[in-house]
Structure 1
Amino acid sequence: MERIGLLDRYIAKIASDWEAFDQKENTPEAKEYQAGLQSTLKVLKDLGAVRDPRLILLAEKVTLQQELATYANAPEMINSIKPALQQIAEASATLQLVRDHNAYTQAAVTYSSKRKQAGLPLDAFREFAKSHTARLTNRLKASSAVSEKNILRQRKENLKVANQMYMLLQREALGLAPEAEQELTR
């Protein structure tokens, strides 16, 4: 294999690839896509402002289903989305259970103290919020447009809101004194 000039060829190739990428990003279609993402971000912010954990879970479910159907182009991505969808199903079931105070109280005693945080069980809902936030954080580390990263950041923020609201439901179900709202937003 010829080594002389190989690095020079590589440098020229990545410069050429960048020029093609930059050209692609300035097409009318790319600009329309970026404008669409801005609109999507606004809807996600509105969704988070409602502070409804069920609605936020459903939005994540729809997003993951759409990503699986249209964007998942690698086994690693598919192997991340499928478990996330399973976790959403489990989190949804837990969200229903927490509304039945007697049933949730009985379920809560089965959690060891190691599986509790601030006296609240780290159940399927909270585990989903934690692991899905990690998934989104990992995606933020990839190279993608700022507008795409803003969508991921808003999804993380919505999960944080859903988790905070869920913890209030847990406290209510377990008969624990409600904490000040600002305590939950830390």
Structure 2
Amino acid sequence: MVKPGLIDELFENLSRDWGLFQLKESSLEAVEFQKSLPATLTTYKQLEKSNSPELILAAEKLTLQQELATYANSAEMVSSINPDLKQLEEASGSLTLVQDKEAYAKAAHAFSAKRKQGGLPLDAFREFILSHTARLTNRLKGTASVSEKNILRQRKDNLRAANKQYQNMQREALGLK
């Protein structure tokens, strides 16, 4: 038997919750948080301009570690962040390897044609970029302020810039440039 007035009760609860949410969003802390985001966005934009895959990976590692500390009580977030950190470490290894042309050329021969894109190996670095970009895209679908979403978009732009530079490094290491 359905409880009479259940929809009315839900309406009252949602109205109360929404009102409290609005108060939370306008708290002094929330306002200060929103004010601080443009400076963070500017720093992320500077990282993109650095054209340095090393710096961009370091920034993502720092950000992921911060997210892990912030969301440590959320099993869903932890189970998403930990694999990203593992992939990031593997990507760092590929970044080191691509700088040794001889070693990278030998390693590249181990990739089948299916694991190449545009003649370049889809190695740990490029796989990290693809999966982490997808993770950020999924986060953009969630609820967040415009400023928070702008930071997520900028992080995606940074990853694209790092990937482009890395592909140039791959071409150079493989003598395709």
TM-score by length of 1: 0.92
Aligned to 2:69: 69
* 2:98–2:169 Cα contact (<8 Å) kept: yes
How well do the aligned residues superpose, as a CA RMSD in angstroms? 1.1
Classify the secondary structure of the residue corresponding to 1:72. Answer: coil
| AA in 2 matched with 1:65 | Q
Classify the secondary structure of the residue corresponding to 1:130. Answer: helix
Of all paired residues, the percent bearing the same amino acid is 58
Deviation at 1:147, TM superposition (A): 1.4
**Residue range with higher mean Cα deviation, 148-157 or 1-10:** 1-10
Deviation at 1:154, TM superposition (A): 0.8
Aligned to 1:36: 36
Aligned to 1:182: none
* 2:94–2:125 Cα contact (<8 Å) kept: yes
TM-score by length of 2: 0.96
Moved segments of 4+, more than 3 Å: none
Which stretches in structure 2 are left out of the alignment for 5+ residues?
none
| AA in 2 matched with 1:112 | S
Deviation at 1:24, TM superposition (A): 1.4
Aligned to 1:130: 130
Between the aligned partners of 1:67 and 1:101, the Cα distance in structure 2 is: 35
* 2:115–2:121 Cα contact (<8 Å) kept: yes
After superposition, give the CA deviation of every residue in 1:110-140 in whole Å (9 maximum; x if it has no partner): 0000000000000000000000001111111
1:77-96 → structure 2 map (5 Å cutoff): 77-96=77-96
